Amino acid sequence: MRILVTGHLGYIGTVLTPMLLERGHEVVGLDSDLYRRCTFGELPSSMAGVLNIEKDVRDVELEDLAGIDAVLHLAGLSNDPLGDLNPSITDEINHRATVRLGALAKQAGVERFVFSSSCSNYGAGGEDWLDETSAFHPVTPYGVSKVDSEKGLASLASDSFTPVLLRSATAYGASPRLRFDLVVNNLVAWAFTTGKVFLKSDGSAWRPLVHIEDISAAFCAVLEAPSDKVRGEAFNVGNTEDNLQIRDVAEIVSDVVPNCELAFADGASADTRCYRVDCSKLPRTLPDYAPKWNVRRGAEELLETYRAHGLNLEEFEGPTFQRIAHIRHLVESGVLDHSLRHVAR
């Protein structure tokens, strides 16, 4: 298939794109490449031959979708603090541009549209187990944008157009465009660079967790599945066994990283984002899909990656790799305008 991957140069995209290429698909990328200055290591060599449409997702045109069989839509503002920076821009990029892209894809004759949604939709879900039929309780602009996008895309489903909604758990794992704001990645980084597993909350909140390779494999699975099995469906993506309280994650990290201790930020309190998610629907629907990672193995991978890179505290907490600080730096430097578009030079 000829596949358009939006956000192919991001945290998940730089892992998913090589996987698609290995499976024999032709990939076209579309990415404004906000994080080109944040590469952690090198991009996979296989990505050198991928056609890149360097464009803001808000500016996609019908001709960008010519000859495309499927769209895998990853692009967007990718975390809660970044979404909080300007909620109206978050809605513009994450919601309205997503639904517009879906409508254009349908108009262009694209057969399948796989959306990177989030378990953040469940938000303040509490300690009860949640599945794909559970109510949404988003607590951030980011979560709201994902809920609104799902509703808009689901309305586009037809016999000739198959939207699929992948609600990924909180991601972790090594990537050339590594995100240090994600809990497992962050805790291993703190432990490695300071000798402390540093919690910014009281650690009581529940969170489902999933490795980015398992997310990428889920995209491949629903991309290649028969349409009648996935059309208009939402799937939680993760390993049900890896629903953990944050303090449990901290204990795993402290066990994996030698000579570190657990520490709490001053005034640490409970996180309002708390949810436990049943992820059994996807492997039940598509038996060839099965998550391969767990948090302990992911922490070990991250530790090896940080060692190889020689990661230091200033690097991962500074404006190079901290997403919100990096975006603010680009705006202050005149690289981006206040709508987060690149400024013409």
Record the tokens describing residue 328, joined without a space.
Answer: 């603010």
Record the tokens describing residue 169, joined without a space.
Answer: 């758990």
- What pLDDT, on the 0 to 100 scale, is given for residue 258? 94
Confidence class for position 274, pLDDT limits 50, 70, 90: confident
pTM, two decimal places: 0.94
Strand partners of residue 4: 28, 71
For residues 87 and 235, the model is more confident at 235
- Residue 80: is its pLDDT beyond 60? no
- Residue 202: is its pLDDT beyond 90? no
C-alpha span between 256 and 242 (Å, rounded): 16
C-alpha span between 229 and 183 (Å, rounded): 33
Confidence class for position 214, pLDDT limits 50, 70, 90: very high
13, with CB counted inside 10 A (0-12, 13-18, 19+), is: buried
**Residue 168 to residues 93, 108, 146, 209, 214: CA-CA distances in angstroms?**
19, 27, 11, 8, 10
Mean pLDDT of 203-227: 96
331, with CB counted inside 10 A (0-12, 13-18, 19+), is: middle
Strand partners of residue 2: 26
C-alpha span between 303 and 260 (Å, rounded): 13
C-alpha span between 2 and 70 (Å, rounded): 7
Q: Are 207 and 137 in contact (CB under 8 A)?
A: no
- What pLDDT, on the 0 to 100 scale, is given for residue 345? 58
- Residue 81: is its pLDDT beyond 90? no
Task: Sketch out the chain's domains with CATH numbers.
Answer: 2-179+210-242+276-293+327-332 (3.40.50.720)
C-alpha span between 152 and 98 (Å, rounded): 9
pLDDT tens profile 142-165: 999 999 999 999 999 999 999 999
Confidence class for position 325, pLDDT limits 50, 70, 90: confident
DSSP alpha helix (H) spans, 32-96: 80-85, 87-90
Q: Are 20 and 29 in contact (CB under 8 A)?
A: no
In terms of DSSP bridges, do strands 196-199 and 162-168 run parallel, antiparallel, or are they unpaired?
A: unpaired
DSSP 246-292: HHHHHHHHHHHSTT-EEEE-TT----S-EEEE---HHHHHSTT----
Mean pLDDT of 257-262: 91
